[in-house]
Structure 1
Amino acid sequence: PKPVPKPEPKPAPKPEPRPKPLPKPAVAKPVEPVQAASKPIASAPVSPPSPPAPPAPPKVDTQGIEGGYLKGLRNDLDGYKQYPTGRQASLERPSGEVVVWLLVDRQGRVLDSGIQTQASSMLLNRAATNSLRRIKQVKPFPEQAFGGRNEQRFTATFNYSVQ
């Protein structure tokens, strides 16, 4: 008998609070349109700063600048590439590709370097590592290139073929 009276009083108070909140939002709604009306006025001055959009065309130029720099860098790196020497290299005559990476600062100093993808021949990997050790400085990269970063990581492929 106790649980039966408890559910009966609960439904009775619920319908009463529901009608009371309805008039309150109606009062708040007219206040919001006034604020919304002031917001479009503020947004009108925001539209004039849209002229900074024209810097987008130079991005096309930076791609060309970056591409030209990468091509020149890879050509320079080929000058540092050494083919393995010694008796074992003469006997095996290994060929293959080693993908190397360089971390370069804007002034062209090589901060770090290493092998990204090794060749199947340890002789080629060793030759690539020795070549990387010799590279201390490369051509500085252009100011507009690579999003203005002070350091950039580059990759290049040392292609070793028997000559």
Structure 2
Amino acid sequence: MNDNGKINYGLNLNSASEEISVSDVPFTQFFNVMLKGDYEANGIGLQNNNTGTINITLPLGSTITNAFLYWYALENSTTLSNTGSLNNIAITGTLIASSTSDPCFFHESTHFFRADVTNIVNSGVNNVQINPGGSETLIDGASLVVIFSNPAFPRKQINHY
């Protein structure tokens, strides 16, 4: 974190000097809630296969209030891998970020997506499939964030960026 309270995580690759510089990118709050409960998150690498299983374990007596699936794809700048399924139900993700730097796999862009999956997520096994947007696309991974209420838990503010 720099002196201005920003996290440095944007990469810019200068091919002439092959230096990597970091630029300031401020966090933007996407979601917040105050509840008796907490959140659970898990993910899976999808680099060699665009399907996998994400397990979510919630405490007894919990009720899912919100759930978000995140994934990213290395692909051409005009390609969008924003569709797939969770538990065999079709999903469409919103493009939430994009980068034109890909120093590892030499694709034109890295696209980051989010889908609200509140009504289809399970406590337990969740089967995820992301559809590649093009033949050059590399789906690299997916993460599932589940927010839950539970009367046995203390009241808590959950902020999601």
| TM superposition score category, shorter chain reference | under 0.3
TM-score (norm 2): 0.27
Q: Which structure carries more strand by proportion?
A: 2
Q: Which structure carries more helix by proportion?
A: 1
Q: Which has the higher contact order (CA 8 A, sep 6+)?
A: 2
Highest Rg: 1 or 2?
A: 1
TM-score (norm 1): 0.27
